[in-house]
Structure 1
Amino acid sequence: MPNTDDFLQRQEQIIDTTGWAVTHVLPTADDPDTTAPFAYTVGLTAHDYPELITAGLPPEVAHSLLNDLARRVYDKAERFTHGQRISDLIAGYDAIIIDGPPTDELLPAMAINRYGREKTRLQQLVWPDREGRFPWDSGYDFDPQAQPLIAQL
């Protein structure tokens, strides 16, 4: 198992090469049900963009979606706004971006440690259920804790 120094060194290499890295936070064997898995970027803050975060998705899916969004931000200077629908990210579904602060459930610790809490802004990629409903919609098909939110729409 790599130690923290190895992890930070690898993260630094990825940020230097790509402009950002994706970090995953997964439930542990000691705490399997109290934390939804989430992933977030580290590195966009250095370029005056919010870090991107998403919750409740398998790590490989979250990683791919965040890389796609980060590429738009970093390579094309695309800016997302609170409530913006994105129709070309998840095949057959819209996703929505929401702005908000870090929360106890969605804490981008590596970004905060790197840039400070006051500089670290977040935008969350929120995904729908199979019927296209979001966590704030009536009838959303998942438990609210499956996809914790940094803010409401």
Structure 2
Amino acid sequence: MIESSRVCRCVICHDYGDRGDYDDADRGVVDNVSAYGWSVTGVPADEQGPGWAYTIGRWHSRGEPELAMFGLDLRVMQSCLNILGQRDGLADGQAHDDVVNGYPLRLRAVEPDWFRAFFGQGMWFYRHPPIPFLEVVWPDRDGAFPWDTGSLTQPHLWLAPADHPRGVWTQDV
């Protein structure tokens, strides 16, 4: 579990001397965080596996955990993360039944050993992680969550990598 005391060492709060080296994606994140409080980074699905999306900036702007979602269409995940991103007090174990019409979402705390595999741009932004991340977990069409069925359509980042079932989500860990 991540220590909850808030110390922000992000690229906005601290000059690491490399601001002239930012690429367009880096500048876009900084601009979005400055303007809106967070940015959503999407990693599209490819031949190696499903896509995912995650927020960057909630910890900086609000002292709130970052959010991550996996295995759905990028636009759907970005929309869900933006809806949840506006909320305060998000925590491990919470249920949110009003984000996706007809489907409940659950929040699970992400084990820090997953950060490098999935949150590279977030690691760049914060420089001194870990910072808290919550995985936004969605059910299957029958309303069952991965912990009920063992499904690997989304990773089980609340587990340590050594305890996660082998599959598409564990190839870079």
Shared fold, TM over 0.5:
yes
Aligned to 1:75: none
Aligned to 1:63: 78
Task: Tell me, yes or no, if structure 1 residue 22 matches structure 2 residue 40.
Answer: yes
**How many residues are matched?**
136
CA contact (8 A) 1:52 1:124 kept: yes
Q: CA deviation at 1:44?
A: 1.0
**Do the aligned partners of residues 105 and 62 (structure 1) sit closer, same or farther apart at CA in structure 2, a change above 3 Å counting?**
farther
**Which residue, 5, 25, 50 being the options, matches 1:36?**
50
| Cα deviation code 1:33-87 (max 9, x no counterpart) | 3x32110000112132111000001110000000001012xxxxx2122111111
Output the amino acid matched with 1:21. S
TM-score, normalization: structure 1?
A: 0.80
Output the amino acid matched with 1:135. P
Aligned to 1:150: 157
Q: CA deviation at 1:27?
A: 3.6
Task: Tell me, yes or no, if structure 1 residue 83 matches structure 2 residue 93.
Answer: yes
Higher alpha-carbon deviation: 11-20 or 101-110: 101-110
Q: CA deviation at 1:117?
A: 5.0
CA contact (8 A) 1:84 1:97 kept: yes
Distance 2:131 2:120 in 1: 10
Q: Alignment RMSD, CA only? A: 2.0
Task: Tell me, yes or no, if structure 1 residue 98 matches structure 2 residue 112.
Answer: no
Which stretches of structure 1, 4 residues or longer, exceed 6 Å deviation after superposition? Answer: none
TM-score, normalization: structure 2?
A: 0.71
Q: CA deviation at 1:106?
A: 5.3
Distance 2:154 2:117 in 1: 10
Aligned to 2:23: 5
Distance 1:55 1:117 in 2: 24
Task: Tell me, yes or no, if structure 1 residue 135 matches structure 2 residue 146.
Answer: yes
Among all aligned residue pairs of Structure 1 and Structure 2, give the percentage whose two residues are the same amino acid: 30
Provide structure 2 residue ranges, at least 5 long, that are not aligned to the other structure. Answer: 1-21, 160-173
